[in-house]
A and B are shown apart, each in its own frame.
Chain A
Amino acid sequence: QITLKESGPTLVRPTETLTLTCTFSGFSLTTNGVGVAWIRQPPRKAPELLALIYWNDDKRFSPSLKTRLTITKDTSKNEVVLTMTNMDPVDTATYFCARRDKVSALTTGAFDSWGQGALITVSS
């Protein structure tokens, strides 16, 4: 059974740096083709991919946010960490981590498992 869980602060002040940790189980981030993503969803809006890290340390970032984002993995701890600098109230959202399955004839290639999400509020 695959599980993912987000952890971090619930309240961040403007200009501060947000650090979120995704702790997962049931799969390995050393498996060829697998990735873990951070996706956020402002209230009543669509999800938005922030960053994605693959088994081989390949990384993908939102073009509009890439200067503010860092993503790292610790395969020994089954963790993926996202940092986002210079937080602003418009960054208030639920932040999800999700597994990206590899693309193959037998697997989805989609975000097939998600954490429950963490609501992050940016306010002074």
Chain B
Amino acid sequence: DIQMTQSPSTLSASVGDTVTITCRASQTVSNFLAWYQQKPGKAPRVLIYRSSFLDTGVPSRFSGRGSGTEFTLTISSLQPEDFATYYCQQYNGYYFTFGGGTKVEMK
């Protein structure tokens, strides 16, 4: 399996901050990397696919970068509705794996 490692596991921030989450793959996944946002009691929602493409309706304050084994998700000017848990997920090859998650909490 390709292992996905996210950091940090928890991030404390305030409204208006810019935050960056990192995701590393144990082997190359090219740019087949998605980012999801999950709020308590809800299903994950895809924000970004193919490393840097925003899904329909996702605010432009979300951005993704990277290829190969290292990826980042940046949220510029954090809004109250952005406090949630974020997961990366690779979809290269036979089997797809998720990162362990990053909880963005209010400072």
Residues of A at under 8 Å CB distance from B? Answer: 46-49, 52, 60-63, 96, 98, 100, 103, 108-112, 114-117
Contact = CB atoms under 8 A, between A and B. Distances in A.
B25 to A, nearest CB: 15
Contact of A110 (B89, B95, B97, B99): B89
A47 B91 contact: no
Contact of B95 (A46, A60, A116): A60
Contact of B34 (A48, A60, A62, A110): A110
Contacts, number: 59
B89 A115 contact: no
5 contacts: A108-B50, A108-B55, A109-B32, A110-B55, A114-B45
A49 B49 contact: no
B85 to A, nearest CB: 9
Nearest to B100: A46
B43 A96 contact: yes
B98 A116 contact: no
Interface residues of B, number: 24
B98 A48 contact: yes
A47 B49 contact: no
Contacts of A111: 34, 36, 44, 46, 89
Contact of B50 (A61, A100, A109): A109
B43 to A, nearest CB: 4
Nearest to B4: A46
Contact of B46 (A63, A108, A115): A108
Given A61-B95, A110-B91, 10 more contacts: A46-B99, A62-B95, A103-B32, A103-B91, A108-B49, A108-B53, A109-B91, A110-B49, A110-B89, A114-B45
B62 interface: no
Interface in B33-47: 34, 36, 42-46
Interface string B34-76: 1010000011111001100101000000000000000000000
Contacts of B101: 46
Interface string B8-42: 00000000000000000000000010101000001
